[in-house]
Amino acid sequence: MHRRLAIFTHKIFINTNSIPTTTATGTTFLYTQSNRLNPRTNGLAFFRLLSFTPVHRRAPDPDDPSNLMKEDGVSVCSQMWIENFREPDRILSNLTAYLRRFELWVLAYQKVCADDMGAYMPRSAIQRSALEDLLALKNAVLDNRFKWGARLDFFIKSPKDKTEYQSLSKRKIKAILTTTQPAAFQDKIVQEVLFMILEPIYEARFSQKSFAFRPGRNAHTVLKVIRRNFAGYLWYMRGDLSTVLDGMKVGLVISALMRDVRDKKVIDLIKTALTTPVITSRVEEPKKKTKRKYQKKRVLAEDEPKPDPYWLDTFFGFAPEEAEKVPSWGHCGILSPLLANICLDELDRWMEGKIKEFYRPSKSDVIWNSPEGEAEQGNTSWPEFVPTSGPDKTRKMDYVRHGGHILIGMRGPRADAATLRKQLIEFVDQKYMLKLDNENLPIEHITKGIMFLDHVLCRRVVYPTLRYTATGGKIISEKGVGTLLSVTASLKQCIKQFRKLNFLKGDRDPDPQPCFRMFHATQAHTNAQMNKFLSTMVEWYRYADNRKKIVNFCSYIIRGSLAKLYAAKYKLRSRAKVYKIGSRNLSRPLKEKKGSSPDYHNLLRMGLAESIDGLQYTRMSHVPETDYTPFPSNWIPDHEKALLEYIRLDDPKTLEDQRFTMREQGLVSPQDYISMLVWNYKRNAISMDQLSLIKSAGNKAEREQRLLLGSDRDSYDQRSKEEEEHEEEFDVAEI
């Protein structure tokens, strides 16, 4: 074989004839009459001959599922958000068309893979077999062949699931069918598709008074709204409806869902997800504690996601009571929080009606005296400050809901609060079949302190100096009196959470306990983990008035816990010795090197030692100040602002209104201004100042004539004459 190839190569190089090559028109010849003495040319021709392959375009495979994706999934979701925010009150009866969009199923597959494997999978990396299985799942959902909670028969499996269910033993199959198992991969995909379809529908309809399980809203938003809108209220009512999050009757959920959605396919899917029983194993009795043997570190699989780091797991333990419970109904999965908000939205709408009924403005009140109750008077730079008024005060009420917990603030007599509580108990009993009593809805005065989201709401009386401009332009300064709502972090709740996480013991005199979970970690890694935890705590207490004090207390507990850990690990006996060697923030290495070795700074400079970051916020001066940024009264998230702005600009009526306003006020748009610049430059071969022409012109007709008909030539000639006269005067002055 090698000999034949060598002979063929020799013939090619010495042949003076042309090398044939096939084209679309037939056989042509390359390099005719080639030079024998130029081996470079002949070598190139030989290389092109050997590397030549005729181009054959593949016909598209009609069975390829990727051909069904006509558009990007994100653009489909964006269009759904825009349509629902453009018409938020319409009743939707044809959502099956979105279930048929294969782009949404591929996007749901990518999101579920990212949650399941810990890494995002681009669309180009999805294998054809996975797309075919995904298409089979979509068709099964549309043909009513899909069943929630399948354990052995799947249309599609996770990429990391390598189990062959056909070859399992009877014992393993019985264990799979009778014990608690995580949600199937295909169930998560169907949940994600339904969530992408239903979320934009109800986000456009939800009340602005609910803040949990919604994009762009969180516990910090609740605290800012309370600080902004609840100042001046005397009576507060807290309600715990968290039992609704544990589960509701299927009929109540479906009836709440069908207020806006009338698609039978979607309703049946959610109904079967709620009614299909979830298999759970029995709770075994706890075994007696035995002495733990030495265990090797478990090595994660290649496709296994890493568990949450220690600092994040610790911070999750600090979740307040109002944000701790997340609903999980049947096989709905991530749909459960959305369904809970759909059901509780009736309560939000009912409370909004009560707020309007209760509002009674008073003309003698210096704030909240407008008939609609929206326009508020006061200092805009300090909106939380409420001036005191006369005996006849405005009666006003406000309400917020975070998950299953509600907070109502009232300004008026306590009898009105008791009446509202009675009506609220009746409404909840009628709508949600939930029995509440006066203990579940206590009425508390602001002076006692109201606990909500681990923050205490209380009132402070302040006497600021008010400056205002009187008639005639005279600035008057006088001493004012008013109330300011104080939002402080609860030290008692903080101690309770630390005690739950075994960081300390005792209430009145808390004593830090060693953090033995980090015993086998290095000092640098332990300090880094605790610094991340402290940074997260600083952000959590961002809007607390006592932010410096509470964060400094957290730093004291963490520092004492690590000092006891290092004392036990390095056998230093006491915290004082740990602080002496490692300094106040534990940034110095506590483990000495054996033998004669350079100092730690020299090792660090040479890169032979691991740098150790000291603990943050060991002094109160290091903690940042409380965030008192003014919060607007009618606040909406940024994504809703962008949607509403896009819808407004996309409306042709908006453009016509802007053009009419520009014509009436004689304004010029930047596009028209640039076009007039170019037009006049082409006509007159000079660049003119168009704005000065507009200002100098008298009426509208004269402006258009000067700008578009080239009448600026006269102004240019006049300006050139003035410049010549000025130059002559300058020459005379020099002489």
Task: Give the pLDDT of residue 96.
Answer: 93
Cβ distance 444 to 432 under 8 Å? no
Kindly tell me if the per-residue pLDDT of 242 is higher than 70: yes
Say if CB 230 and CB 457 are below 8 A apart.
yes
714 pLDDT more than 80: no
- pLDDT at res. 36: 42
DSSP-assigned states of every residue in 21-60 = EE-SSSEEEESTT--TT-HHHHHHHHHHHHH-----PPPP
How far apart (Å, rounded) are the C-alpha atoms in residues 489 and 540? Answer: 10
Q: pLDDT by residue (tens digit) across 10-69?
A: 443 444 444 344 333 343 333 334 444 344 444 444 434 444 445 455 566 667 888 888
Residues 525-560 as b or e (16 or more Cβ within 10 Å = b): ebbbbbbbbbeebbebbbbbbbbbbbbbbbbebbbb
Range with lowest mean pLDDT among 36-45, 252-261, 604-613, 672-681:
36-45
Q: What is the mean pLDDT of residues 486-505?
A: 90
Does the pLDDT at position 408 exceed 70? yes
Cα dihedral across residues 298, 303, 307, 311: positive or negative: positive
pLDDT confidence bin for 519, thresholds 50/70/90: confident
Single pTM value for the model: 0.78
CA 253 → CA 206, 249, 343, 358, distances in Å?
16, 7, 6, 30
- Residue identified by tokens 């964006």 is 78
Q: Residue 391: its pLDDT value, please?
A: 56
Mean pLDDT of 158-164: 84
pLDDT of residue 97: 92
Q: Would the pLDDT of 534 be above 70?
A: yes
* CB of 180 closer than 8 Å to CB of 256: no
Report how far residue 708's alpha carbon sits from residue 691's, in angstroms, rounded to the nearest whole number. 13
The strand pairing partners of 465, in sequence order, are 479
Look at residue 246 and tell me whether its pLDDT is greater than 90: no
Residue 339 has a pLDDT of: 95
Name all contacts of 216-221 with Cβ < 8 Å and 24+ positions apart. Answer: 216/637, 216/638, 216/639, 216/640, 217/637, 219/320, 219/322, 219/323, 219/402, 219/453, 220/542, 220/543, 221/635
Which range (125-134, 267-276, 475-484) has the least confidence?
475-484
Taking the C-alpha atoms of residue 547 and residue 539, their distance in angstroms, rounded to an integer, is 10
Tell me: pLDDT of 667 over 90.
no
What integer is the mean pLDDT of 641-655? 91
pLDDT of residue 225: 93
pLDDT for position 711: 44
pLDDT, residue 351, reads: 95
C-alpha dist (Å) from residue 124 to 60, 120, 121, 455: 17, 12, 8, 48
Is the Cβ–Cβ distance between 227 and 631 less than 8 Å?
yes
pLDDT above 70 (res 320): yes
What is the pLDDT averaged over residues 720-727? 57
- Using pLDDT thresholds of 50, 70 and 90, give the confidence band for residue 416: very high
As a whole-number percent, the residues of the chain with pLDDT over 70 amount to 74
Cβ-based neighbour number of residue 71 at 10 Å:
11
- Beta bridge partners, 261, equal 92
Q: Check pLDDT > 60 for residue 364.
A: yes
DSSP calls for 190-245 = HHHHHHHHHHHHHHTTS-TTB-TTSTT--HHHHHHHHHHH-TT--EEEEEE-THHH
Helix, strand, coil percentages for the chain (3-state, nearest 5): 50, 10, 40
Tokens of 398: 């406000």
3-class state of residue 438 by DSSP: coil
Q: What pLDDT does residue 44 have?
A: 40
Q: What is the mean pLDDT of the chain?
A: 79
Radius of gyration of the chain (CA): 37
| Structure confidence by residue, pLDDT tens digits, 445-495 | 998 999 999 999 998 877 777 777 777 778 888 777 777 789 999 999 999
Confidence band of 140 (pLDDT split at 50, 70, 90): very high
Quick one: pLDDT band at residue 133, thresholds 50, 70, 90? very high
Q: What is the pLDDT of residue 366?
A: 54
Half-sphere exposure of 455 (CA within 13 A, CB side): 24
User: Is pLDDT at 268 greater than 50 in this prediction?
Assistant: yes
pLDDT tier at 301, thresholds 50, 70, 90: low
pLDDT at 264: 93
For residue 457, list its beta bridge partners.
Answer: 450, 487
Question: What stretches of 359-424 adopt beta strand conformation (E)?
Answer: 385-387, 396-402, 405-411
pLDDT in tens, 690-711: 555 555 555 554 555 454 444 4
Average pLDDT in the 643-659 region? 89
What pLDDT was estimated at residue 83? 94
The predicted structure's pLDDT at residue 437: 87
**What does the pLDDT read at residue 48?**
44
| Backbone angle region of 640, left / alpha / beta, with phi > 0 → left and psi within -120 to 50 → alpha | alpha
Whole-number pLDDT of residue 17:
44
pLDDT digits (tens, 9 = 90+) for 61-109: 667 888 888 889 899 999 999 999 999 999 998 999 999 999 999 999 9
pLDDT at 716 over 50: no
| pLDDT above 50 (res 375) | no
Average pLDDT over residues 355-365: 81
Query: Does 417 have pLDDT greater than 90?
Result: yes
In this prediction, residue 269 has a pLDDT band, given cuts at 50, 70 and 90, of: very high
Residue 205: pLDDT band (50, 70, 90) is very high
Residue 164 has pLDDT above 80, yes or no: yes
Q: With the C-alpha atoms ordered 198, 199, 204, 210, is the resulting torsion angle positive or negative? A: positive
Name the pairing type of β-strands 475-479 and 482-489. Answer: unpaired
| In contact, 151 and 175? CB cutoff 8 Å | no
> What are the tens digits of pLDDT across the range 670-694?
878 888 888 877 777 655 555 555 5
> Residue range 332-336: average pLDDT?
93
pLDDT band for position 728 (cuts 50, 70, 90): low
Would the pLDDT of 597 be above 50?
no
Instruction: Indicate whether 4 pLDDT > 50.
Output: no
